[in-house]
Amino acid sequence: MSTSSLGGAFTLPGTSLSLKRMGYGAMQLPGPHVWGPPRDKAAALAVLRDVVALGANHIDTAEFYGPGVANSLIREALAPYPRGLTIITKVGFVRGPEGSWAPDHTPEGLTRAVHENLSSLDLEALDVVNLRLGGPHGPDERSVAEPLGVLVELQRQGLIRHIGLSSVSPAQFAEARAIADIVCVQNQYNLAQRGDDEFIDALAAEGVAYVPFFPLGGFSPLQSSRLSEVAAELGASPKQVALAWLLQRSPNILVIAGTSSQAHLRENFASADLALSPAQVTALDGIGGGE
């Protein structure tokens, strides 16, 4: 398997961070429902080491994955971190004692979250921090000014190098851009959920990265006869085709498919070498409108 290119590279705007377009998301490292320790700690550490060994240079994580579990595994597996590895984290949500998810956009909560990420990852500054807005089911339209202002102040203090946004609308992005330099947007998007098509194109025109979360459908895995047919044509898995479609969808898309399996990691990364024909792309594009 050739993974040297990993889909090419994209440089985050206004930075020297040239990220391979295929990265890794750490959400699946903790136990079931992103809660508690991993089922197999040794396997989780091996996956993280493989991420770097196979050529990926960015990992997406959050203190609330576990909580604290994903970050501690990343630190144990990879610190001292190899030169060129970018760790991207997010703040704005907390976990309840029973595993629930709740937004926390208070100045105190956001500041605490940044310091928790610094501590658990053993870093002096965070490369990129995504401000996770909205609710559990997607963006809302509330102003981003107050919570974003907190991150801008922490950036001024040298604790954050660059700022991104997660689960935001185009209007919120426009408001944020008037307050701070935004290097990336992380929203839900995949073959079947195409609500951000115009947003992706607008961000590409501005040179801003778009990072789809749940690229394979998340808690509702992608299932489609068209997807299966194209996969059969290519001798690939449906998951590989879905990831390859994202990489071909727009040059500013960065993929962070997550897994706790070394075999699945290699399968995911191999999708960067998969080339879809125009006819296959057209067939897959129809999935977003229903079959």
Other beta carbons less than 10 A from residue 179's beta carbon: 14
Cα separation, 43 vs 65, in Å, equals 17
**Is 65 in the active site?**
yes
The token pair at 150 is 């907190």
Give dist(CA 154, CA 231) in Å, integer: 46
Q: Under DSSP, is residue 109 helix (H, G, I), strand (E, B) or coil? A: helix
What are the residues whose beta carbons fall under 8 Å from the beta carbon of 146, sequence distance 6 or more?
105, 107
Amino acid at 144: V
- Contacts of residue 57, defined as CB under 8 A and 6 or more positions apart, other chains included, come to 19, 20, 23, 84, 85, 86
What DSSP state is assigned to residue 12?
P
The Cα–Cα gap between 27 and 211 comes to 14
3-state secondary structure of 58: strand
Q: Which two tokens stand for residue 154?
A: 């922490």
Out of 24, 65, 81, 189, the active site residue is 65
Distance CA 62, CA 190 (A): 21
Under DSSP, is residue 241 helix (H, G, I), strand (E, B) or coil?
A: helix
Three-class secondary structure of residue 123 per DSSP:
coil
Residues 7 and 275: their CA atoms lie apart, in Å, by 10
Instruction: Encode 203-233: b = buried (16+ Cβ within 10 Å), e = exposed.
Output: bbeeebbbbbbbbbbeeeebebebbeebbee
The catalytic site residues sit at 65
